[in-house]
């Protein structure tokens, strides 16, 4: 599938900031399922710093904005070819051992309810692919997709108790369940061309990857009850949403901050 991606993130500050330093994980991953043709990142008033590929295989680059400024906009414009790999992350080069992704975080720490949910799922690590699918289905059945009911700081335990959430909540819950069952799991950030019902997706997306014996990393999107296919564009990964955030930064100044995000992922004519 040929996709065109436009992504604009704007920060507005109540008081002009003196300086802004950002770390951007906004470049598509390199693996057999993706081929980038064009990809431009621009930060208004920004100075591009050095970039590097981290141990997880993600490309990270630094940007600096010198103030005073009261608004900063990050723009992404790119074209990419994607291929359905049945969720398997084949050809991705990284150095971190999968067992490192058994680490709990504040967002994915399992409470009694999450542990009960995980241990109640039939299957064993002897057939880790089947178990991973069952865990993903359990999360889909336990947390209904409903935008606006949770926030960026909502934990997996809180989303399960609420019974509702968005892709971040589904992913955190699946990470928690997989790790309880001794399956390494990580959070993936990226884009989705449309949801399974065909509706356009106007925001960044997230899903989980679980390490499966004999296959390696396999993606599971519990929010949409599927594995990533040609509609998905992978950017990067981490232990949770904060660790895998496409944009991280520090602004020097005081006052309020407002965030506006606009994402458009459209299929181009073949």
The DSSP letter of residue 158 is H
Q: What is the mean pLDDT of the chain?
A: 95
Residue 206 phi, psi (nearest 5)? -145, 150
For residue 142, pLDDT beyond 80: yes
Report pLDDT digits (tens) over 15-44: 999 999 999 999 999 999 999 999 999 999
For residue 94, pLDDT beyond 60: yes
Is CATH 2.60.40.2250 what the domain over 2-81+247-267 is classified as, yes or no? yes
- CA dist., res. 244 & res. 148, Å (int): 21
Q: Give me the mean pLDDT over the 43-65 stretch.
A: 97
The domain segmentation of the chain, as residue ranges, is 2-81+247-267, 85-238
C-alpha 70, offset from chain centre: 28
For residue 179, pLDDT beyond 60: yes
Report pLDDT digits (tens) over 119-130: 999 998 889 999
Greatest Cα-to-Cα distance within the chain, rounded to the nearest angstrom: 58
Task: Report in angstroms the alpha-carbon separations of 126 from 129, 182, 227.
Answer: 9, 11, 21
Residue 247: CA atoms inside 13 Å, Cβ hemisphere, count? 22
| CA–CA–CA angle 219, 220, 221 (5° rounding) | 125
Give me the torsion for CA of 224, 59, 184, 95, rounded to 10°.
150
Is CATH 3.30.70.2740 what the domain over 85-238 is classified as, yes or no? no
C-alpha 130, offset from chain centre: 23
- CA dist., res. 6 & res. 191, Å (int): 10
């Amino acid at each position: 599938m040929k996709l065109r991606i436009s992504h604009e993130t704007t920060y507005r500050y109540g008081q002009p900031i003196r300086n802004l330093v950002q770390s951007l994980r906004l470049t598509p991953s390199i693996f057999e399922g993706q081929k980038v043709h064009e990809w431009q990142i621009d930060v208004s008033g920004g100075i591009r710093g050095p970039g590097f590929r981290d141990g997880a295989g993600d490309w990270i680059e630094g940007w600096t904005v010198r103030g005073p400024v009261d608004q900063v906009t990050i723009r992404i414009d790119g074209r990419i070819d994607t291929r359905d790999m049945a969720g398997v992350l084949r050809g991705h080069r990284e150095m971190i051992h999968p067992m490192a992704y058994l680490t709990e975080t504040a967002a994915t720490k399992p409470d009694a309810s999450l542990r009960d949910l995980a241990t109640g799922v039939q299957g064993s690590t002897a057939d880790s692919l089947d178990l991973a699918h069952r865990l993903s289905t359990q999360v889909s059945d336990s947390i209904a997709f409903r935008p606006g009911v949770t926030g960026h700081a909502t934990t997996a335990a809180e989303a399960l108790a609420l019974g509702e959430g968005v892709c971040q909540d589904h992913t955190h819950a699946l990470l928690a369940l997989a790790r309880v069952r001794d399956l390494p799991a990580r959070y993936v950030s990226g884009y989705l061309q449309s949801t399974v019902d065909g509706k356009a997706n106007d925001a960044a997306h997230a899903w989980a990857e679980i390490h499966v014996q004999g296959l390696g990393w396999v993606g599971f999107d519990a929010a949409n009850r599927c594995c990533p296919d040609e509609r998905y564009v992978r950017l990067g990964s981490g232990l949770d949403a904060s660790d895998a955030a496409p944009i991280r930064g520090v602004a020097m100044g005081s006052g309020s901050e407002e965030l506006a995000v606009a994402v458009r992922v459209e299929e181009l004519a073949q």
